[in-house]
Amino acid sequence: MTTKLQSADLALDWRQLPPLPDPIGFAGPFAGTSGGALIVAGGANFPDKMPWEGGRKVWYDTAFVLDRTNGAWRGAFKLPRPLGYGVSVTTRDGVVCIGGSDAKQHVRDVSLLSWKKGELKCEPLLPLPEPLANSCGAVVGKTVYVAGGTATPDATNAMKNFWALDLGKRGAKWRELKPWPGPARMLSVAASVGKSFYLAGGTDLAPDAKGQPVRTYLKDVYRFTPGRGWKRVADMPNPVVAAPTPAPLAGKTGFLIVGGDDGSLSNFEPKSKHPGFQKRVLSYDTKHDRWSIVGETPASRATLPTVEWSGLTVIPSGETRPGMRSPEVWGVRATTD
């Protein structure tokens, strides 16, 4: 599949919001909006030592709420248990948190976070067909779609699953739909534009001779439209893994891929000197099926969600380089000429 590139008349306005009230920050948190407020919950970090120093990853149940862009974070509220690396999407009723993992397992849990009268509520919803983490998802119309991921913490293969839940139907159950025609994958970027769901990049997994998972970084992109199925569209200019998802929108017919891991430094040594994930921002024009390089992000992040809030796409916390997190919270607004 050929990559189509063209410069775009697109301006990116970056803004820094109040940082999370945590000195380290989190990878894989859940995030969304409810009651006009921004919610960031869960995730994991290395509080004592980095992983290459033998540090232990810790998952969290803490949740924080910000009710205005120049305000102060409220917290710490609590999730029912420590959890991270799931899918989170904002709906009319609150933040739907889908799957994820803790220190021992991946889970089927689905829940709804809502902010009402100064209280953060968490209600269980219908669980997933299987345990799932490191996936991606987005809402198209009233339906949330979830694609890819891994089933267990020690998985040596990525999943090729495509599930849908109609949030507009009372009593609706998860449906297993025909997946995309390309390789299995995890840590992809999802996008919702018009009536279509997009699946971009990520990484496939396969075991090496010692049974350890090896990544294949992907740059292929697919579009799913209900009633029409899947179609492969133009490849990204470079592979992208674990970029912020769902993808920020760019006008009425485009979306952005912001930073993420392109795999070029996957074997970088020493790990303590890793310069960070690539900063390139890509824009996809769904109308003309072409990609543009539209600049750089001031704060490249990986393994984190995005949230549409107060006219911005908010990118909260996340990884700056393998093992390292940041409590910074950024927002971006894409404007077209």
Question: Domains in the chain and their CATH numbers?
Answer: 10-336 (2.120.10.80)
Which pLDDT does position 2 carry in this prediction?
A: 40
Predicted confidence (pLDDT) per residue in 46-97, tens digit:
999 999 999 999 999 999 999 999 999 998 899 999 999 999 999 999 999 9
Average pLDDT over residues 17-25: 97
Amino acid occupying residue 280: R
Angstrom distance (rounded) from CA 300 to CA 114 = 29
Predicted confidence (pLDDT) per residue in 200-254, tens digit:
999 999 999 999 999 999 999 999 999 999 999 999 999 999 999 999 999 899 9
Which pLDDT does position 337 carry in this prediction?
A: 66
Angle at 42 between CA 180 and CA 164, to 5 degrees: 25
Predicted confidence (pLDDT) per residue in 268-299, tens digit:
999 999 999 999 999 999 999 999 999 999 99
Average pLDDT over residues 137-162: 97
313-328 burial, b if ≥16 CB within 10 A, otherwise e?
Answer: bbbbbbbbbbbbbbbb
Angle at 222 between CA 337 and CA 197, to 5 degrees: 70
| Edge-first strand listing for the sheet containing 196-207 | 189-193, 196-207, 213-225, 229-233
Angstrom distance (rounded) from CA 110 to CA 206 = 28
Which pLDDT does position 3 carry in this prediction?
A: 40
Select from 140, 259, 264 the least CA-distant residue to 189.
259
SS3 state of residue 226: coil
Predicted confidence (pLDDT) per residue in 127-139, tens digit:
999 999 999 999 9
Which pLDDT does position 314 carry in this prediction?
A: 98
**Other residues' Cβ atoms within 10 Å of the Cβ of residue 6:** 11
Q: Could you tell me the pTM of the whole model?
A: 0.95
Q: In residues, how long is the chain?
A: 337
Determine if residue 151 is left, alpha or beta; phi over 0 gives left, psi from -120 to 50 gives alpha, anything else beta.
alpha
Which pLDDT does position 335 carry in this prediction?
A: 85
Q: Let me know: does 277 contact 302? Beta carbons within 8 Å.
A: yes
Predicted confidence (pLDDT) per residue in 258-267, tens digit:
999 999 999 9
Q: What percent of the chain has pLDDT over 70?
A: 97
SS3 state of residue 273: helix
pLDDT at 8 over 90: no
Average pLDDT over residues 162-176: 93
Angle at 330 between CA 327 and CA 332, to 5 degrees: 165
